[in-house]
A and B are shown apart, each in its own frame.
Chain A
Amino acid sequence: MATIFDIPSSDSSAFPVPQYDIADIDALPDELLSSDDVLHDVAEIEVVRHYTSLSRTNYSVDTQMYPLGSCTMKYNPKLNERIAGCDGFAGIHPLAMQARAQGALALLWELSRSLAEITGMKEFSLAPAAGAHGELTGVMIIKKYFEEKRENRRVILIPDSAHGTNPASVAMCGFEVREIPSRSDGDVDIRALASMLDAHVAAMMLTNPNTLGLFDRNILEMAKLLHSKGALFYADGANLNAVMGKAKMRDMGFDLMHINLHKTFSTPHGGGGPGSGPVGVSDELAKYLPVPVVVKDSDGYRLDYNRPSSIGRMHSFYGNFLICVRAYAYLMRLGASGIRSTAETAVLNANYLRARLKDMYNCPVDRLCMHEFVLNDKGLPNGITTNDIAKRILDYGFHAPTVYFPLHVPGAIMIEPTETESKQTLDAFAETLISIRKECDENPELVHNAPHSTPVKKVDAVRAARKPALVWKK
């Protein structure tokens, strides 16, 4: 791919700077100044053409189905972009007087109340900028809770099916990770949990529905077990899309959780971010939430910093506000019934695809699923692997599913269609996988050597890592 630096530089600037007639007062002394020019000058039309042509090499939700498991790549409504672009939202400074930012504060407050209703949690903080940031916030809350109780608990239990961010967040807070195995039916091995649960365990983190797309049937027993030993139960809300409006996380026995607004609540992924990872907690944990918290009183909305037990500040300001605006617009459009029907359709779509594919590919757990399901490459002929299948899917104009995750299923192919895909698109995707399965028998080289029709062919990742070239050089 050509970079912007490959375009010959021009004399004309694409960004003329106004020339004001003001005297140069207090000129900066020379010894403070740099003298070299390090950026690249190209004309405006070149910039537009370069980035437009780059964009056309991307797959995206706007251009094709993007069935990445655990990422909930649903349609991102355009209305929300227009609203987030309003000057009253995009142009308001975070340090503006609170009396002049009542709209922004009201929106944050309303959104956190809505999330509390959906999950059953008592209070939410919208400060975390991403799911992992929310987890980190949650684990800090767990740490603070036990510090105040003067209990020295240093272990957090995490199932083998968990996202990598769970153990990584735990480690950043100085806890020790202990992994709990899953059973062959996909649920957490509750006997193993019982045997690992001792006075050192501070909490367990669980994604429910889990990363196999299964609702853990022992959820209430798990919660009971943990609480009987004084431990907390943390929900990774990555898969909330499957259960919102159908069951509340608090009712499942979770004490705290995070939500990914960029998954469940349709805010765009932006090629990797920005996201937003609100943290919700039970009544008992509310005092530990990061500062500031938006509160409503008789004078209106304000930022409350007077929270002596708070873990402290987690973000430069109040989190990814413009992402919250989009999520709030989405929730208003959905409403109570739309939230529920969204979950139902997400689950229907996933089960439909699963039903169409489970006899064509190995399906490690044969159960009805929630919003996603996992296949793998076991038994594929001619040495065809998951990676081959993923790359071949790209040739058919679909994005690949999540692959090689969850880790406890070798060669996992994790498919999450989301509720926004039509039956026609689901059928086309199913036909694609069926057709590829035939190719595995009849023309394995075609699959091995995929992709064939993408903007670039298979990229050499080993070479990139062996001799990292991380900046452009002539």
Chain B
Amino acid sequence: MDYTALSDSDREQMLNVIGVRSIDELFADIPEQIRLNAKLNLPEGLSDIEVENHLRILASKNVVLKSFLGAGIYRHYIPAVVDEIARRGEFFTAYTPYQPEVSQGTLTAIFEYQTMIARLTGLDIANASMYDGATATAESLLLALRGKECGNVVISETLHPHYREVVRTYMRAAGVEVRTCSMQEGKTDYARMASLIDSNTAAVAIQSPNFFGLIEDVSTCADIAHKENAKLVQVIAEPLSLGILKRPDALGADIACGEAQSFGNYVGFGGPLLGFIATKEEFVRKMPGRLVGKSVDEEGKEAYVLTLQTREQHIRRERATSNICSNEGLCALRAVIYLSLLGNNIRRLARLNHQLAAYLKHKLIKKGFVAPFAAPFFNEFVVCMHGIEKVCERLSGEGYELGFLLEPYYPSMRDCVLVCATEMNSPAEIDALIAALEGVM
């Protein structure tokens, strides 16, 4: 059942105007031997009622538990305003704002988004979004490589394992060597990092808070990188941390990038997400992706427009700074509405996240879990217990998802689990988790 709007008599009149007798004549350019005569081997169309029923049943096969799972995707409260506004058809059924005179809504909101990301990172500019944290990291490294003869980048083992994989995929295609720096006590081994960087290193990527939730010594790392003229890329997978922690710019980062799903976007089985890149003004012409700039219209009224498009693929083709075209505009819109509502309460919310995580960690340790790392963390931490896999499995039977088992990605971290708490996990829920834990241990 298609979504067309023509009647049979419309079709007939239209064919007449075109001057053909049948629809088939319009497809005459398709060589006969490949024209499909049989129907596709797919079910026939369903009514809305049937589609909705079928998909609700499918949705119910995904069991959403009380969750303490983070690891790059964070369950935060989404104010109703975000959904209501972002679902306005004027926003979500618009295209890329190539005609600024009829796209000021999208353009203004993206300009505000760029401003907020720039302010939160302390850097000068931010783009109008990338696909996700992993590709934003890969593109940030490509940005640092642009116009240089450098042949390698250095990334830390404490960078999200999926981000590292995507970086390797992109760099393999680009012919760039990726050096991975090992870790020590859950943080990057800075001495090792210094030994991996050489004059051929374009950039160093370090995540903070890192994959284990620990706050890295970004400025130490920046000093090491800058000594060899390499750029420091700070990756941030949980940007709520910027509500409380020192900003990348203050830590010496040249580029801050990562994942902004936390700002008003659903966990949604990992997509759509919201990659961001912020950097210094001097790199603006190397920036991938769209940028919205302020200008004026003919009458001198403030107006916004896509700008510096000569960086982009539709103008520069094979010499563009990236191939990106479609981005995550609607997710960026959600983020800017979210941040407009949150305002400077972001500090309180970030602090609350940390407090709840600390509270949970404390309770788990009391229950016999061991915390392998002592460094300060934001809203995620690692704890270990013998037979953790069984414990997690039993807990899920009680309706709780304790966290992310680390061994598959870090073979030395047997029996370790990465646990996260956000404002969605009230102290009462944490207490209930601990009570459930007693039953399964």
Q: How far is the CB of B55 from chain A (nearest CB, A)?
A: 5
Judging by beta carbons under 8 Å apart, are A348 and B6 in contact? yes
Cβ of B304 under 8 Å from chain A: yes
Q: How far is the CB of B109 from chain A (nearest CB, A)?
A: 6
Q: Which of B83-91, B150-158, B181-189, B225-233 touches A?
A: B83-91
Q: How far is the CB of A266 from chain B (nearest CB, A)?
A: 7
Q: State which of B315, B320, B329 has its C-beta within 8 Å of the C-beta of A271.
A: B329
Judging by beta carbons under 8 Å apart, are B272 and A348 in contact? no
**With the chains together, A320 CA to B273 CA distance in Å?**
7
Judging by beta carbons under 8 Å apart, are B342 and A39 in contact? yes
Judging by beta carbons under 8 Å apart, are B3 and A92 in contact? no
With a CB–CB cut-off of 8 A, which chain B residues contact A328? 55
Judging by beta carbons under 8 Å apart, are B92 and A1 in contact? no
Judging by beta carbons under 8 Å apart, are B64 and A337 in contact? no
Cβ of A434 under 8 Å from chain B: no
> Please, which residue of chain A has its CB at the minimum distance from the CB of B304?
A1
With a CB–CB cut-off of 8 A, which chain B residues contact A39? 116, 119-120, 339, 342-344, 346
**With the chains together, A23 CA to B108 CA distance in Å?**
42
The residue in A47, A391, A400 that gathers the most chain B C-beta atoms within 10 A of its C-beta is A47
With a CB–CB cut-off of 8 A, which chain B residues contact A24? 355, 358
Judging by beta carbons under 8 Å apart, are B119 and A322 in contact? no
Judging by beta carbons under 8 Å apart, are B93 and A1 in contact? no
Cβ of A422 under 8 Å from chain B: yes
Judging by beta carbons under 8 Å apart, are B308 and A465 in contact? yes
A and B contact pairs by CB, cutoff 8 A, 28 listed: A17-B345, A41-B345, A63-B90, A66-B94, A66-B95, A73-B93, A88-B64, A93-B270, A164-B315, A173-B173, A177-B318, A271-B329, A272-B328, A273-B329, A313-B134, A317-B273, A322-B269, A323-B271, A331-B42, A347-B27, A355-B18, A368-B28, A400-B99, A451-B102, A454-B102, A457-B298, A470-B126, A472-B115
Judging by beta carbons under 8 Å apart, are B344 and A17 in contact? no
Cβ of A131 under 8 Å from chain B: yes
Judging by beta carbons under 8 Å apart, are A470 and B319 in contact? no
Q: Which of A75-83, A195-203, A437-445 touches B?
A: A75-83
With a CB–CB cut-off of 8 A, which chain A residues contact B107? 1
User: What is the count of residue pairs linking A and B with beta-carbon distances less than 8 angstroms?
Assistant: 706
Instruction: List B317-348 residues whose CB lies under 8 Å from chain A.
Output: 317-320, 322-331, 333, 336-337, 339-348
Assuming the A-B contacts A34-B250, A117-B40, A329-B51, are A246 and B30 also in contact, with contact meaning beta carbons closer than 8 angstroms in the complex?
Answer: yes
> Please, which residue of chain B has its CB at the minimum distance from the CB of A18?
B423
Judging by beta carbons under 8 Å apart, are B302 and A420 in contact? no
Cβ of B286 under 8 Å from chain A: no
Judging by beta carbons under 8 Å apart, are A423 and B163 in contact? no
Q: State which of A52, A77, A247, A455 has its C-beta within 8 Å of the C-beta of B30.
A: A247
Judging by beta carbons under 8 Å apart, are A423 and B44 in contact? no
Judging by beta carbons under 8 Å apart, are B396 and A97 in contact? yes
Judging by beta carbons under 8 Å apart, are A58 and B273 in contact? no
Q: State which of B85, B324, B329 has its C-beta within 8 Å of the C-beta of A51.
A: B85
- Seed contacts A117-B42, A314-B169; 17 additional CB < 8 Å A-B pairs: A3-B115, A4-B112, A39-B119, A39-B120, A83-B59, A89-B269, A90-B267, A93-B269, A104-B62, A132-B323, A220-B34, A243-B30, A312-B169, A332-B55, A355-B19, A456-B101, A470-B114
Judging by beta carbons under 8 Å apart, are A457 and B62 in contact? no
Cβ of A383 under 8 Å from chain B: no
Judging by beta carbons under 8 Å apart, are A91 and B267 in contact? yes
Judging by beta carbons under 8 Å apart, are A60 and B93 in contact? yes
The residue in A313, A334, A356, A421 that gathers the most chain B C-beta atoms within 10 A of its C-beta is A313
Judging by beta carbons under 8 Å apart, are B297 and A92 in contact? no
Cβ of A143 under 8 Å from chain B: yes
> Please, which residue of chain B has its CB at the minimum distance from the CB of A110?
B58
